[in-house]
């Protein structure tokens, strides 16, 4: 049955209960679901007074007070935290769990694999939960399943994908926890692929941001996660034709915001509203996580945090500003591969390393520490930067690529034209070596001519002595009776 497309015959009676904790829930407190809407918004108003961790950093831009129990704003590329509020508190993620489900699906399957829906996948979810009404024994390609999970937040699709990837939903949950540990999560434990309430299914804003960082590194997942609506077409394996609309108002444009890259909504009575969103502006790609808020404030909290981040922070290139770790004058780390024979360093700061810094801060106000503990190929050291103890980014010291550089002097050439031009064939000539070779050849030639001159001079002296002797002999014969005068004329003095 397709519960989300069936209208109830009569009006359902909504009953709300206030649950009180009678036992400890692991290592984090039990929160009761609010009994009324008024109580829910009263709780949200009280949460605005909770301390904001990032505001306690000296000279750090003051972040906004929001009604969420926990929230974080993180740069997707560097991991720099711009805003932090109770970021390590364990809370219920609801359907934002599905970001991890899709990460594992993308890593362990192909888009055209057919996913068949078992009885358990369809009927193990509670009635009324998010679904697209797929029936038992129907099937969809994995790509359509990803749209079902991210656009429609379909719980039965998450279950079917879990079984398809790991063989069972429990085995898939184990994979989720393994992946969370791999990503650096410290306060996360999953027991299902969809995020419906379970006492032992929890995460934190910080951990959820780490999961989102990995999610938004995948271009396909980012594209699907930024889809406002999707048309599910009928097939032989799935006979219904229908359209599902995303509930994320920043993705649909209902609440307009520039640079949205995708996200995921989530809600249960225990979790309240949870929201993960990614946006990119001014060279920064930021991830915002809001947990335990009331609708529609989760969207407006996200807008406030994005505005805070893009307004108060900027990207700063390390190589263009760093002077403490300059190695240009070190003869020990040099190589003579320059086109003119000059010595160039074999180590350099990575030209693409950058920091996320408050706009009111200058580079020389930062503290830094260098570590040589790196396993990355061609990396020699890692430099971490801090502002009053807050991490703002990392730069690496790399081995210089020995490939010859080519220089384009048309700085203002249009980018599309530059991509169409073929790089010229450049021949690198070492002038010093050529000069040495020329001088060596010249020296050999000079030596040759000197030796030749000496030999010629010696022969000249020898011939001169010989001629003198002959002249004396001729002079003696001249006085004799039979001297042939014609022979005398044969000598040219």
Is the pLDDT reported for residue 22 higher than 70? no
Weakest-pLDDT range from 5-14, 122-131, 211-220: 5-14
Q: Which two tokens stand for residue 315?
A: 């990207």
Phi, psi of 360 (to 5 degrees): -85, 0
For residue 28, the model assigns a pLDDT of: 52
Binding residues: 264
Residue 95 annotated in active site = yes
Q: What is the pLDDT of residue 460?
A: 60
Judge: domain 3-314, CATH 3.40.605.10.
Answer: no
Burial track 471-486 (b if 16+ CB lie within 10 A, e otherwise): eeeeeeeeeeeeeeee
User: Which segments of 265-384 does DSSP mark as H helices, in order?
Assistant: 297-312
How much of the chain, in percent, has pLDDT values that exceed 90?
64
CB neighbour list of residue 14: distance below 8 Å, 6 or more residues apart: none
Grade residue 205 by pLDDT with cuts at 50, 70 and 90.
Answer: very high
Whether 352 has a pLDDT exceeding 60, the answer reads yes
More confident residue, 335 or 57: 57
Decide if pLDDT at 472 tops 70: no
Annotated active-site residue 153? The verdict is: yes
Output the six-digit token pair for 376: 């990355």
Q: Is the pLDDT of residue 407 over 50?
A: no
Banded model confidence at residue 3, pLDDT cuts 50, 70, 90: very low
Alpha helical stretches, state H, 286-348: 297-312
Q: Residue positions in the annotated binding site for substrate?
A: 264
pLDDT at 393 over 60: yes
Decide if pLDDT at 473 tops 70.
no
Instruction: State how far the alpha carbon of 51 is from the alpha carbons of 28, 55, 292, in Å.
Output: 18, 8, 15
d(CA 405, CA 428): 10
Q: Which of 5-14, 309-318, 327-336, 464-473 has the lowest mean pLDDT?
A: 5-14
Q: Which position has the higher pLDDT, 10 or 325?
A: 325
**pLDDT on residue 213:** 98
Who wins on pLDDT, 439 or 462?
439
User: Is 98 among the catalytic positions?
Assistant: yes
- Contact (Cβ atoms closer than 8 angstroms) between residue 111 and residue 229: no
The predicted-structure confidence for 247-293, as pLDDT tens digits, reads as follows: 999 999 999 999 999 999 999 999 999 999 999 999 999 999 999 99
Is 409's pLDDT higher than 80?
no
Distance of CA 128 to the CA centre of its chain: 39
Lookup: tokens for 471:
């002249």
pLDDT in the model for residue 324: 83
Greater model confidence, 439 or 308? 308
Which position among 70, 130, 153, 204 bears the catalytic label?
A: 153
Which tops the pLDDT comparison, 299 or 374?
299
User: Which residues contact residue 101 at a Cβ distance below 8 angstroms, ignoring those fewer than 6 apart?
Assistant: 149, 158, 161, 162, 172, 176, 193, 194
Q: Which tokens hold the place of 86?
A: 């109770």
pLDDT in the model for residue 400: 78
Banded model confidence at residue 336, pLDDT cuts 50, 70, 90: very low
User: Which residues fall within 8 angstroms of residue 346, CB to CB, at 6 or more apart?
Assistant: 333, 334, 335, 399, 400
Q: How far apart are the first and last CA of the chain?
A: 131
- pLDDT tens, position by position, 82-123: 999 999 999 999 999 999 999 999 999 999 999 999 999 999
Nearest to 103 by CA among 176, 209, 208: 176
pLDDT for position 33? 72
Identify the weakest region by mean pLDDT among 188-192, 337-341, 366-370, 404-408: 404-408
> What integer pLDDT is reported at residue 217 of this predicted model?
97
The mean of the pLDDT values for the chain is 83
Where residue 11 falls among pLDDT bands split at 50, 70, 90? very low
The contacts of residue 485 (CB under 8 Å, 6+ apart) are none
Catalytic residue among 95, 204, 348, 353: 95
Q: Tokens 């930024």 label which residue?
A: 226
Report the C-alpha gap between 349 and 80 in whole angstroms: 20
Enumerate the domain spans of the chain. 3-314, 318-404+428-451
């Amino acid at each position: 049955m397709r519960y989300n497309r069936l209208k109830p015959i009569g009006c359902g009676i909504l009953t709300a209960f206030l649950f009180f904790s009678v036992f400890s829930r692991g290592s984090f407190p039990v929160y009761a679901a609010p009994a009324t809407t008024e109580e829910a918004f009263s709780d949200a108003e009280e949460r605005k007074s909770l301390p904001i961790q990032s505001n306690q950093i000296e000279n750090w831009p003051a972040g906004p007070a929001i009604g969420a129990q926990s929230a974080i704003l993180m740069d997707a590329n560097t991991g720099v935290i711009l805003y932090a509020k109770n970021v390590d508190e364990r809370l219920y993620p609801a359907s934002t769990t599905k970001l991890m489900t899709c990460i594992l699906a993308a890593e362990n399957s192909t888009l055209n694999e057919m996913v068949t829906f078992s009885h358990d996948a369809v009927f193990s979810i509670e009635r009324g939960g998010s679904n697209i009404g797929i029936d038992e024994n129907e099937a969809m390609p994995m790509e359509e399943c990803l749209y079902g999970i991210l656009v429609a937040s379909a719980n039965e699709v998450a279950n079917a994908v879990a079984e398809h990837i790991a063989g069972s939903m429990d085995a898939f949950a184990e994979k989720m926890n393994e992946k969370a540990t791999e990503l650096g999560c410290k306060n996360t434990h999953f027991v299902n692929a969809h995020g419906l309430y379970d006492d032992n299914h929890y995460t934190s804003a910080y951990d959820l941001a780490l999961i989102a960082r990995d999610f938004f590194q995948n271009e396909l997942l980012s594209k699907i996660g930024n889809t406002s609506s999707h048309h599910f077409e009928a097939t032989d394996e799935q006979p219904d034709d229908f359209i599902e609309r995303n509930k994320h108002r920043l993705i649909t444009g209902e609440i307009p915001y520039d640079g949205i890259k995708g996200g995921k909504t989530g809600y249960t009575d225990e979790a309240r509203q949870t929201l993960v969103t990614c946006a990119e502006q001014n060279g920064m790609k930021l991830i915002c996580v809001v947990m335990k808020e009331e609708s529609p404030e989760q969207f407006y909290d996200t807008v406030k945090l994005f505005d805070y981040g893009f307004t108060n922070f900027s990207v700063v290139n390390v190589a263009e500003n760093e002077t403490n770790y300059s190695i240009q004058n070190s003869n020990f780390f040099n190589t003579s591969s320059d086109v003119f024979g000059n010595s160039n360093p074999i180590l350099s700061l990575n030209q693409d390393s950058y920091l996320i810094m408050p706009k009111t801060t200058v580079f020389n106000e930062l503290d830094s520490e260098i570590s040589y503990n790196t396993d990355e190929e061609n990396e020699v050291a890692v430099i971490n930067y801090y502002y009053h103890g807050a991490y703002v980014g990392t730069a690496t010291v790399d081995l210089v690529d020995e490939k010859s550089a080519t220089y384009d002097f048309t700085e203002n050439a249009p980018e599309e034209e530059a991509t169409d031009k073929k790089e010229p064939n450049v021949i690198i000539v070492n002038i010093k070596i050529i000069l040495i070779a020329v001088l060596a050849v010249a020296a050999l030639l000079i030596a040759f001519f000197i030796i030749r001159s000496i030999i010629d001079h010696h022969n000249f002296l020898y011939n001169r002595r010989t001629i003198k002797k002959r002249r004396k002999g001729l002079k003696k014969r001249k006085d004799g009776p039979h001297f042939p005068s014609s022979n005398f004329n044969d000598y040219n003095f």
